[in-house]
Amino acid sequence: MKKILSIVILTLVVVSGLFFSCQSNSNNTKKTEKVVEEQKENTWNAEEQELIVLVEKLLFAVGNSDFQTLDSIVSDKANLGSAIVRDGVSKNSVITIGEYFEAQKNRDGERKPFYEPVNKYKILINKGQIAFVWADATLHSYGVPRTNNIDNFTLIKEDGEWKFINISFTNTRLPEEKRKFDVEIFAKSYAQVWCSQRPNFVSSFFAEDGELTVNKGKPAKGTEAINNVVKGFMDAFPDMIVSMDSLTTTSDKTRFHWTLAGTNNATNGTGNKVKISGFEEWTLNDDGLIQKSKGYFDEKEYKRQLEFGMNK
């Protein structure tokens, strides 16, 4: 097994190196290559776009600890390699995806959400059957960039569908001057965790004594109360997706505009699809967490869609 794994990793390194690192010493040639590369990144073909969507689906799922989604897109034969670099020293490990899932089950109460947008991609597809994806990403925690992750993925076609067979990454801590709170990233991360089916991930964006009010109702105060409100929506819509539409900020308020889409497949649910938009107005504390959130949406339209569906 170790021999096979070594061959896979060596092949990835060699092929990736040949594809990605060939450079000319000529300044003019470098400029030309840069232009070509930028054009390439803006003109992904359909198969490359499919791979990008799949990689971002994986990063979204990992950030939300969504192991059901991960299991559906990662081969049960896959390996996970990591190099955690701190102060110039690297701690490396290689485990199977099964070992990863088992380890995560034992960390249920310790896990925290994270958001990992990709800054840059490089892609090589071999005969439409094996693909290598290189991704330069930044891992954020509650709106603060923490580490630079260079992610390398190997995918193979299994029954006509792409599956991850190797996931490896280097994780390097960003310098202190780059670890600055970004409210837009915070908002995108917040939208992501509403899709997690983990109420505690949402409440972790609030101060411990934070408040969440929905449509001028009674404020939910504190972590447990906020969990209960969030759980109500997550239970009602097991497939719920919340997306950020826009963000507006003033000196003391931030307004997060969102759209919720899902199917009311809860116990005794109507089975109807719902799509509703609204906003939360936040007051953030000095730690960059939500102290108070006042949420609004059209409750009459929401109830109508629950009963009749969104297209009626």
CA–CA gap between residue 66 and residue 68 (Å, rounded): 6
The domain containing residue 282 runs over which residues?
183-308
85-104 mean pLDDT: 94
pLDDT, tens only, 226-263: 999 999 999 999 999 999 999 999 888 999 999 999 99
Say whether both 206 and 145 belong to one domain. Answer: no
For 7, the enclosing helix (H) or strand (E) is helix 2-20
pLDDT over 70, % of the chain: 86
Rounding to the nearest 10 degrees, give the CA dihedral for residues 93, 97, 101, 102.
-70
Q: pTM for the whole thing?
A: 0.85
157-165 mean pLDDT: 96
Query: Does 289 map to a domain?
Result: yes
Of 217, 64, 80, 208, the residue nearest 152 (C-alpha) = 80
Say whether both 8 and 126 belong to one domain. Answer: yes
CA–CA gap between residue 273 and residue 261 (Å, rounded): 7
86-94 mean pLDDT: 95
Task: Determine the pLDDT at residue 216.
Answer: 86
113-118 mean pLDDT: 98
42-68 mean pLDDT: 95
Query: Does 64 map to a domain?
Result: yes
> What single-letter amino acid sits at 84?
I
Q: How many domains does the chain have?
A: 2
Averaged pLDDT score across all residues of the chain: 89
pLDDT, tens only, 267-300: 899 999 999 999 999 999 999 999 999 999 999 9
Say whether both 6 and 136 belong to one domain. Answer: yes
